[in-house]
C-alpha cells in the first residue's frame, strides 16, 4: 500500500544530492570573453589620507590576464620616503600584526586583492599630507611585464 509520502521520497533524494553538490568548494572559473583583458590590470585603487612624516596605505586589485604568472617585486612613489608591501596576519595570541612581503605572485588568469586586513602597500614617512580628494602616483614593478604607473585617489 502506497502512502502519500512515497511519491515524494525520490524527489527528496534528488534535492539532497543537488544540495550536496552545491556545497563543495568552488572551483576557479575561466573568465568570460567579455571580461578578458590584457597583461596586468590594476582596479579599484585607493589610498588612505595621512599626515606628512606619518604613514598611509594603498589598496587595489591586480588581475593577470596573461597565460604566464608574474611577480610584483616592488612599489615606488614620490609621496613617501619608504614603500613596502605588507600583509596583515593574526598572531597565536590573537593579536593583529603586519609583516613585510618581499614579492607577490600574481598567477595567470587570476586576481590578487590588496585590501584592508590582507596584502597592502605601506607608505611610510609621507613626504606630503594626503587629504581626501588628492591623488598620488604609484609605480608597480613586475618581474615579467616591467613597470606600470597608476594614479591612486586618496579617500576614506
Walk along the chain (156 residues) in steps of 10 and give the mean pLDDT of each run: 48 36 35 67 98 98 97 98 97 94 98 97 98 98 98 97
The helix (H) or strand (E) run that includes residue 85 is strand 80-90
How would you label 54-66 residue by residue, b for 16+ Cβ within 10 Å and e otherwise? eebbbbbebbbbb
Number of residues that make up the chain: 156
pLDDT given at position 132: 98
d(CA 63, CA 51): 31
pLDDT given at position 23: 32
pLDDT given at position 34: 42
Note the pTM of the prediction, 2 decimals. Answer: 0.76
d(CA 137, CA 142): 16
Closest among 55, 63, 9 to 37, alpha carbons compared: 63
d(CA 118, CA 11): 44
Rounded to a whole number of angstroms, the distance between the first and last alpha carbons of the chain is 69
pLDDT given at position 36: 75
pLDDT given at position 37: 84
d(CA 114, CA 98): 13
Amino acid at each position: 500500500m502506497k502512502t502519500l509520502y512515497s511519491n515524494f521520497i525520490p524527489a527528496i533524494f534528488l534535492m539532497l544530492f543537488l544540495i550536496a553538490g552545491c556545497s563543495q568548494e568552488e572551483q576557479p572559473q575561466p573568465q568570460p570573453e567579455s571580461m578578458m583583458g590584457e597583461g596586468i590590470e590594476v582596479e579599484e585603487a585607493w589610498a588612505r589620507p595621512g599626515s606628512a612624516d606619518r604613514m598611509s596605505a594603498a589598496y587595489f586589485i591586480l588581475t593577470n590576464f596573461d597565460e604566464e604568472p608574474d611577480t610584483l617585486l616592488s612599489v615606488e612613489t614620490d609621496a613617501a620616503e619608504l614603500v613596502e608591501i605588507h600583509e596583515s596576519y593574526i598572531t597565536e595570541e590573537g593579536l593583529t600584526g603586519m609583516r613585510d612581503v618581499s614579492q607577490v605572485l600574481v598567477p595567470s588568469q587570476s586576481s590578487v586583492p590588496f585590501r584592508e586586513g590582507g596584502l597592502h602597500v605601506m607608505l611610510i614617512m609621507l613626504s606630503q599630507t594626503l587629504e581626501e580628494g588628492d591623488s598620488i602616483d604609484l609605480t608597480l614593478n613586475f618581474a615579467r611585464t616591467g613597470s606600470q604607473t597608476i594614479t591612486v585617489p586618496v579617500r576614506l
